[in-house]
Structure 1
Amino acid sequence: MPEPGGHPRRPRRALVALCTAAVSVTGGLTLITQSHADPEPTLAEVREQVDDLYHRAEQATERYNAATDELTEVQRRIERAQASVARQQAAVDAVRAQIGAFAAASYRSGGTVDPTVQTLLAESPEDFLAQASVMNAFAGQQADSLAAAAEVSRSFEQARMVADEELIRQQAIETTLDAEKANVEKLLDEAQAILDQLEAEEQAQLEEDREESSEAPDRGEDEEEDDGGETAPDVPVSGRAGVAVEFALAQVGDPYVWGGNGPDGWDCSGLTKAAWAEAGVSLSRSSSAQINDGARVSKSQLQPGDLVFYYSPISHVGIYIGDGKIVHATHPGDVVSVDDVDLMPFAGASRPG
């Protein structure tokens, strides 16, 4: 007879035999269990996992930065739209006052107040605007004022509609920002959890391996290195590009901080934006937008100060400093450093200014 759940009953003698066998080979069962356990990941595999999480976090960071750019623009449009609403409201009030004066004059002269005028004098601006279509009925009386009132009411309603639409866009962008922020923090927490499982020696080896792999392929053994990566090349650069390069190099060793705008921590586009702002040039906040902030240049045309972009879609940017090197805010868990221009997949370059 089947057991509850539909499974056939195992004969008692078979159960006893299995239990006896289990007791007699406990050690063997333990070995078998261990032999089928997932093997510990190698340091190379750990590094691959962590680097993938860091890269995904940086992609989310740049999406966050792009949304902040969009939010800033929407807020500017909201300010303009609200100013337009205020101007149109003042115009509506002026027209209402003019028509009210006409109605009062009619009443004092013994006449009656036209129902249309009563509508236009409604206490609520909404009631006034809702009745704009009846203004044509008042065509024989103060025609010019009524035509102006109709136009003012339409302008006011349009301005208010634009302002409302921009406020809805703002709310949607803020929702996106919250989602990307949560995504970045989740990815960074996952990466840190993996690193926390390593012994101190393993963490040190992992960092050493990462530093070695970031070195330029043609770098000589006698070339010195500081805590921020490779030594900056001594390439003469002047003008605004020189100011941007000098500023960026002064941040070498500062930590990568997602969403960082300085002065003590940076993400990749935050560093490039601040460097060129020091030179008097305004850049967008995200790397994907910054590539359109200057003239496009090929890799063979790179000059110090040019912005170099990486990955597809673009999610990283550095500043070319000459001699095949860039300075950039590397990735979460690292610092601003000087590295080879070919460290990452090249996606394009542009020249601000």
Structure 2
Amino acid sequence: MASHRRPKQPNRTRVTVLTATAAAAVALTSQAAQAEPKPSKEEVKAKVDKLYEEAEHATEKYNGAKEKQEKLQKQVSNLQDSVARGQDELNKLRDTLGTMATAQYRTGGMDPSLQLFLSSDPDSYLAKASALDQLSSKQTEALRKIQSKQRALAQQREEASDKLKDLEDTRKELGEKKKKIQGKLAEAQRLLNTLTAQERQELAEEEERANRASAERVDLGSSPSASSRAAAALNAAATKVGSPYVWGATGPNSFDCSGLTSWAYSQAGVSLPRTSQAQANAGTRLSQSELAPGDLVIFYSDLHHVGLYAGNGQVLHAPKPGANVRYESINNMPFMFGVRV
């Protein structure tokens, strides 16, 4: 017998709720889009410049860790060479003592104390120093030399082990700082990619104008440098106007900020520390009114940027990623103090 039940009707209340929810979601999305308008070219540039500043700060930290790594690597190599030479000397001393023992055996037997020393565990003998008076003076002197060399080698091996651990920690630190720098630069590029092609071109042209203005004749005044080395450093840096900023670079074809200043002073025969923070303590501090051409100029409260005072209120520096070595007003950045090397 056929069923006379009516077909099940859809749940109109549920459909209505779902429809209302979907409509609300669309409305919220629309409101969010209206509440967060696309940032302007100027806003993007400000954010990118901030990221470049943070990347430069991280770069100086990276430079410091890299300098430490290089020093540790040199210390470890020297210690390892010293240990190798010391082991050779110790082996020769032991061979000499063995020759004495052989000669003694051939002439009538070996002293028990000497036998103990030449056993499979010779180091245990060193704790029995009282036995030295049982040997000849020549053998005693040989044993004392061996004892002294063993102690020195043990100390050098321990020092080398500690340095190797420091070196491994520093390498890990370098990797972390490199990753941080690359992250900042990648984020800056992501922001630039949100601009239209025309806006990116306009920003590139602004940067190029700044580079060209520096390459043209800049009025640096006629103030003399405080020393011949400062003048030589500034003259060397001036030959690098137009070279690109590259983080971690020390020349001769690209530079970061402290890479340029350390390279310039090296051309004048002066060795500067690698980082801007360390260069801030490389000489006598100066106020802005005391600056002379060739003096170092330190910027920002954390001292993460350095340049060379060029005269007439101008600083010669490697500014940031995407920019070239150039002259700019000293007032473009927060001045902290100058340093006369």
Q: TM-score range by the shorter chain?
A: 0.7 to 0.9
Structure 1 residue 36 and structure 2 residue 23: aligned? no
Query: Which residue in 2 is equivalent to 1:188?
Result: 185
Match of 1:267 among 251, 256, 275: 256
Match of 1:94 among 83, 92, 95: 92
Q: Distance in 1 between matches of 2:122 and 2:281?
A: 47
- Indicate how the Cα distance of structure 1 residues 276 and 21 shifts in structure 2: closer, same or farther if over 3 A, else same: closer
- Amino acid corresponding to residue 231 of structure 1 in structure 2: V
**Quick check: 195-204 or 279-288, which moved more?**
195-204
Q: Give structure 2 stretches of 5+ with no counterpart.
A: 1-9
CA drift at 1:41: 1.7
Query: Which residue in 1 is equivalent to 2:134?
Result: 140
2:272, 2:282 within 8 Å by CA — same for their partners in 1?
yes
Query: Which residue in 2 is equivalent to 1:5?
Result: none
Structure 1 residue 67 and structure 2 residue 65: aligned? yes
Match of 1:231 among 218, 243, 247: 218
- Amino acid corresponding to residue 263 of structure 1 in structure 2: P
1:225, 1:231 within 8 Å by CA — same for their partners in 2?
no
- Indicate how the Cα distance of structure 1 residues 136 and 150 shifts in structure 2: closer, same or farther if over 3 A, else same: farther
Structure 1 residue 175 and structure 2 residue 172: aligned? yes
Identity rate, percent: 37
Q: Distance in 1 between matches of 2:113 and 2:219?
A: 81
**Quick check: 73-82 or 166-175, which moved more?**
73-82
CA drift at 1:225: 6.3
Report Cα offsets for 1:326-347 as digits up to 9, x if no partner. 1000011212111121222223
Query: Which residue in 1 is equivalent to 2:44?
Result: 46
CA drift at 1:132: 3.1
Report Cα offsets for 1:121-148 as digits up to 9, x if no partner. 65xxxx5456532444333213333223
Query: Which residue in 1 is equivalent to 2:327?
Result: 338
2:117, 2:123 within 8 Å by CA — same for their partners in 1?
no
Matched position secondary structure for 2:195 = coil
Q: Distance in 2 between matches of 1:230 and 1:135?
A: 80
1:230, 1:338 within 8 Å by CA — same for their partners in 2?
no
Q: How does 1:209-248 map to 2 (within 5 A)?
A: 226=213, 231-235=218-222, 237=224, 239-248=228-237
2:86, 2:149 within 8 Å by CA — same for their partners in 1?
yes
- Indicate how the Cα distance of structure 1 residues 153 and 257 shifts in structure 2: closer, same or farther if over 3 A, else same: same
Match of 2:286 among 297, 301, 309: 297
Matched position secondary structure for 2:250 = coil
1:318, 1:326 within 8 Å by CA — same for their partners in 2?
yes
- Indicate how the Cα distance of structure 1 residues 32 and 72 shifts in structure 2: closer, same or farther if over 3 A, else same: closer
**Quick check: 41-50 or 191-200, which moved more?**
41-50
Q: Which structure's residues are more often helix, by fraction?
A: 2
Query: Which residue in 1 is equivalent to 2:299?
Result: 310
How many aligned residue pairs are there? Answer: 325
